[in-house]
Amino acid sequence: MRKLAVVALGGNALLRGNEQGTIEQQEANTTATLENLVYLIKDGYDLVITHGNGPQVGNILLRNDAGEQLYNISSMPLDVCVADSQGGIGYMIERMMRNVLLKHNIKKEIITLVTMVEVNPDDPAFQNPSKRIGKIYSSEEAEQLAKEKNWLFKPTSKVKGGMRRVVSSPEPLSIFNKDTIETLVRQGNIVIAAGGGGIPVYQDENTLRTLDAVIDKDKASSLLANQIKADEFYILTDVPYIYKDFGLPSQEKLEFLDYKDTMKHLEAGTFAEGTMAPKIKACLRFVENGGQKSVITEATKLEDRSYGSKITMNYE
């Protein structure tokens, strides 16, 4: 029986923090990351690949602003920008993956799906928008845009007096086309889906509507993994393991974790809330809802299965 894994590519898989973000840089980074997925394929895994879109959708929003201000081109709403990023990044991952498979003489079809994700329009997150997106504005610019477009703004620590637009980040409830995704991947195809956490939508009577919001990529990936009955869920990031007290003299590698002990670490504040904690919560959701194992590691460590922090419900 072939195993099914959902692999969530972190932001550094596509774009490094010190890079400008040219297509050449992104293609090189993507290829280097995807080379490591060959180890899973050769081990008999069927794969669904998900990905982030933070830098890319931010750049799309900047182009939106520039087109509107300089050329009077109508700007597109956030849902279209997220879809735009899904298509562009998905295409890049698919083309680079095809090149990697050709190199290794592996014959597989790959398909990219622009993915919508159901959310609740009454989610509490809509009462407290906190996810910063787009460019940094002055206080005066933010005040004007708030009047014109009904946007919300909060200060940013990056520039003194600077303001950034904030949107909500609701919980994902269901992945659209999940049955199609499962069918395709179990037929041996590689599927790229739920990019950037997916496009948030909800049904109002007989109409499918969207909201100005973004969905956490790891939450959506974990949900997708459960809904297609994946065996394993991987989050590829820039560290080989989860660490207790990361960066402190008391730092300790945590390689094997069960659900109960991981929850204790979370409640004790062991993991940074803005970085590692959301990933661990997504991994816990996966095993809590029937997944066999979650793994957090670097892409380069996939060759050796002994690497990476593994989370299961119970370790014997």
Q: Concatenated DSSP letters for 160-210?
A: TT-EEEEEB-PPP-EETTHHHHHHHHHTT-EEE--GGG-EEEEEETTEEEE
Whether residue 53 has pLDDT greater than 80: yes
Whether residue 306 has pLDDT greater than 90: no
25 φ, ψ to 5°? Answer: -65, -45
Q: What is the pLDDT of residue 315?
A: 67
Q: pLDDT class for 107, splitting at 50, 70, 90?
A: very high
Closest CA to 84 of 109, 100, 67: 67
Q: Which residues of 231-243 are buried (b: 16+ CB within 10 A; e: fewer)?
A: bbbbbbbebbbbb
**Rounded to whole angstroms, how far apart are CA atoms 23 and 93?**
12
Q: Which residues contact 311 (CB under 8 A, 6 or more apart)?
A: 257, 258, 259, 262, 280, 283, 284, 287, 293, 294, 295, 296
DSSP-derived pairing of the beta strands 252-254 and 242-244: antiparallel
**Rounded to whole angstroms, how far apart are CA atoms 214 and 122?**
15
Give the tens place of pLDDT for each residue, 185-203: 999 999 999 999 999 999 9
What is the token pair recorded at 138? Answer: 């002055």
More confident residue, 138 or 135: 138
Please state the pTM of the whole predicted model.
Answer: 0.94
**Rounded to whole angstroms, how far apart are CA atoms 194 and 186?**
17
Best-predicted range by mean pLDDT among 55-69, 108-122, 272-286?
108-122
Give the tens place of pLDDT for each residue, 61-84: 989 989 999 999 999 999 999 999
H-only helix segments in the chain: 23-35, 37-42, 54-71, 78-103, 139-149, 178-186, 217-227, 259-267, 276-288
Q: pLDDT class for 86, splitting at 50, 70, 90?
A: very high
Give the tens place of pLDDT for each residue, 239-282: 899 998 888 888 899 999 999 999 999 999 888 887 899 999 99
What is the token pair recorded at 40? Answer: 């899973």
Give the tens place of pLDDT for each residue, 205-221: 899 999 999 999 999 99
Cβ–Cβ < 8 Å for 23, 31: no
Whether residue 316 has pLDDT greater than 80: no
Q: Architecture of 3-121+171-312 per CATH?
A: 3-Layer(aba) Sandwich (3.40)
Count of C-beta atoms within a 10 Å radius of residue 167: 21
Q: What is the pLDDT of residue 273?
A: 80
- Give the active site residues: 11-12, 131, 217, 279
Q: What is the pLDDT of residue 282?
A: 97
Domain ranges of the chain: 3-121+171-312, 129-167
Residues in the chain: 316
Whether residue 15 has pLDDT greater than 90: no
Cβ–Cβ < 8 Å for 227, 293: no
Cβ–Cβ < 8 Å for 211, 223: no
